[in-house]
Structure 1
Amino acid sequence: MKKILFLLLVIANSISGQNADSLFVSANELYRNGAFEEAIKKYKEIETLDSVSSELFLNLGNAHYKLNKVGPTIFYYEKALKLDPLNTDVKNNLIFAQRLALDNIKEVPKTIFQKFNKNYLQKLSFDEWAIVVVLFSFLTAILFLLFYFGYAPTKKRIYFSTSLFSFILLLFVVFITYNQYNQAKNKKEAIVFAEKTAIRNAPTLNSEEVFILHEGAKVIVLDAIDNWKKIKLADGKQGWIISEEIKEF
């Protein structure tokens, strides 16, 4: 019985993969022919099959860009970058898309560590850092075994020193991986989809308006109450926005 269930699962996954591939080809053909709305529908069908990829979100962003839909364009480019932070096509397209957004939000000056984290450590996702951890674990183990079973004093000293250095690097990489995981898990980002919206100082419609945001603005979600979400901008400004006017990625 278990073998039958396993076989059915394999067949189902295979069919799903074939459907996703055929939908992707069909959607790309619609995109090339200028049928952007229809292409978006096909791409979103693939998304419902849980067959997501950086390329899928890139194409969704491109299709929305062709329709001058700023919010969805930036939203899908950001989703693509989350899956593949090194995708240069997405990065370049995102720069063009951000120029369409009306809000010019300047970031608060970063510390040296924050700059190092953004420019270097965040180039890899926490999944990719986890692979680096595994590699360093194997390297440390091999070097230690070479030290333990070695006979020549000179070689033993070399193996001991390199295994110790590798172990220190392993601890450092584990720390980075844990830090990247926590950031990915706890940092909730979103894109404003409303054409224009008022950000208020409290989660009520009769509260004071503190500033205005437009479609395509990127925000960090800090809290949620009923149908309101507390947001923070890159320049440090905070306020409350109606939940339906943003979309988290």
Structure 2
Amino acid sequence: MKKIVFLLGLLTTSLFAQTTDSLFYEANDLYKNGAFEDAIKKYEAILEKDLVSAELYYNLGNSYYKLNKVGPTIYYYEKALKIDPTNADVKNNLIFAKRLALDNIEEVPKTVFQKINSNFLQKLTFNEWAVVSVVLSFVAVLLFFLFYFANATTKKRLFFTCSMLSFLALIFTLVITYQQYQFFNKNKEAIIFAEETVIRNAPTVNSEEVFTLHEGTKVMVLDALDNWKKIKIADGKLGWIISDELKIID
């Protein structure tokens, strides 16, 4: 009976994969033929199955770009880069897409730590840093056991030094993992989807208008209250926006 269930599971998985592949190829054909809206529907049908990939997001971005929809274009390119940060095609297309955005916001100069964080530490997600920490913990324990059971003084000194360095590296990576986790939870990137939206100084429709943003602008979401999101833009300005007018990059 178990074998039958297992075989049925494999058959279901196989049929599901074939259906998904079929949708993807159909969407690609529609894109090649200029039917971009129909292609988007096919790609989004795949998303509804919770099947995501850099290629899927990239193709969605390309489809929206052809329709001159700046917000969704940038949004899906950014999501593709979250999965595959080194993808040169996505990076190049994102540069062109950002030129369509109306807002030209000067970024606040970064501190040395912020540069290190964005250029190096954030190259890995907090989950990947956690994996590094686990590996280092095993290495540190192994080196300590080698030190403990070694007979020669030279080997003992070598294994002890290496184990201490591994423990220090472990502590360092644990700190980085925690910081990246905190940063991820407190600072979520999002893309403005509204063609034009007013940013207010409080989460109410009667509050003062502080500035205006347009479709495609990237913001940081810092807080949420009811149907409002508190955001920060690249030049450091803060304000509140209606939640429906942006989409968070997961």
Deviation for aligned residue 1:92:
2.3
Query: Residue 154 of structure 1: SS of its match in structure 2?
Result: helix
Match of 1:57 in 2: 57
Distance between the aligned counterparts of 1:22 and 1:75, measured in 2? Answer: 25
Residue 99 of structure 1: how far off its partner (Å) = 1.2
1:43 and 2:61 are equivalent in the alignment: no
TM-score, normalization by structure 2 = 0.89
Distance 1:39 1:74, change over 3 A: same
Q: Give the C-alpha shift of residue 5 in structure 1.
A: 6.4
Structure 1 position 10, deviation (Å): 5.0
Instruction: Give the CA deviation at 1:2.
Output: 7.7
SS of structure 2 residue aligned to 1:147: helix
Cα deviations by residue, 1:33-91 (Å, 9 ceiling, x for unpaired): 22221211111111111111122111111111121110001111111222233333322
Structure 2 residue matching 1:239: 3-state secondary structure = strand
Q: Is the 8 A contact 2:186 2:223 kept in 1?
A: no
Match of 1:200 in 2: 200
Contact 1:85–1:124, Cα closer than 8 Å, also in 2: no
Shift in alpha-carbon separation, 1:115–1:12, aligned structure 2, 3 A: same
Shift of residue 11, structure 1, vs aligned partner = 4.5
Aligned mates of 1:92, 1:190 — CA distance in 2: 20
Sequence identity percentage: 66
Is contact 2:200-2:210 (8 Å) kept?
A: yes
CA shift in 2, pair 1:7/1:185, >3 Å: farther
Provide the secondary structure at the position in 2 that maps to 1:144: helix
| Aligned residues between the structures | 249
In the other structure, the counterpart of 1:244 is 244
Q: Report how far residue 192 of structure 1 moved.
A: 0.9
Report the TM-score when normalising by structure 1. Answer: 0.90
Preserved CA contact (<8 Å) 1:17 1:51: no
Counterpart position of 2:188: 188
How far apart, CA to CA, are the structure 1 residues paired with 2:178 and 2:87?
23
- Give the whole-Å Cα distance in 1 for the aligned partners of 2:115 and 2:158: 35
> Structure 1 pair 226/165, CA: closer, same or farther in 2 (3 Å)?
closer
Distance 2:147 2:72 in 1: 56
In the alignment, structure 1 residue 139 sits paired with structure 2 residue 139: yes
Is the alpha carbon distance of 1:89 and 1:137 closer, same or farther for their aligned partners in structure 2, counting shifts above 3 Å? farther
Any stretches of 5+ residues in structure 2 without a counterpart? none
2:72 and 2:107 mapped to 1: Cα distance?
A: 22
Residues 143, 160 of structure 1: 8 Å contact kept: yes
Q: CA contact under 8 A between 1:85 and 1:125: conserved in structure 2?
A: no
Residue 183 of structure 1 aligns to a residue whose secondary structure is helix
Secondary structure (helix, strand or coil) at the match of 2:76 reads: helix
**Distance in 1, Cα, partners of 2:181 & 2:3:** 36
User: In 2, are the aligned partners of 1:201 and 1:209 still within 8 Å (CA)?
Assistant: yes
TM-align CA RMSD: 2.2
For the Cα contact (< 8 Å) 1:193–1:216, is it kept in 2? yes
Residue by residue, what CA displacement relative to the aligned partner does 1:122-169 show, whole Å, maximum 9, x if unpaired? Answer: 112223223322332332233222222221111111111111111211
Q: Hey, what's the Cα distance between the residues in 2 that align with 1:184 and 1:17? A: 32
Q: Which residue number in structure 2 is paired with residue 102 of structure 1?
A: 102
Query: Any gaps of 5 or more consecutive residues in structure 1?
Result: none
